[in-house]
Amino acid sequence: MADWNIVAKDGNPEKSGIYLCVLIHPIWDGDTDTGVRKAEVSSRYFGDAKKYSGWVMDDQPDTGLVWTEQSGSILGESVYAWMKRPKPEVPELPDGVIWEDPEEWDYD
């Protein structure tokens, strides 16, 4: 099993970056929160609140490092658990194509 860090028990990451996350969010019926919660796995950015104002999740502080939403985030989502993204196996590229800069990829 993956080494998930549970936010309530283990806290948040020590540095900014993109992390694989277990997100929990309400299920909405129009404008009404049904009271049902759903979990999903996705990636989210953890970074400086001032730099990413407008993208900060509702349950996060106004300063310091915070979890951010992304385009398409569901209202009321929060990070339950996180882990460094594992480095993926990458496919062979077509002739004449090179990787942009794999040394800067932010993977575990």
Task: Give the pLDDT of the chain (108 residues) as one tens digit per residue.
Answer: 468 999 999 999 999 999 999 999 999 999 999 999 999 999 999 999 999 989 999 999 999 999 999 998 999 999 999 998 877 788 889 999 988 876 666 665
- Distance CA(77)–CA(4), nearest Å, equals 18
Q: Judge if pTM exceeds 0.85.
A: no
Tokens representing 22 are: 């277990």
- Distance CA(82)–CA(53), nearest Å, equals 21
- CA distances in angstroms from 20 to 12, 61, 82, 85, listed in the order given: 12, 21, 6, 5
CB 83 within 8 A of CB 99: no
Total residues belonging to the chain: 108
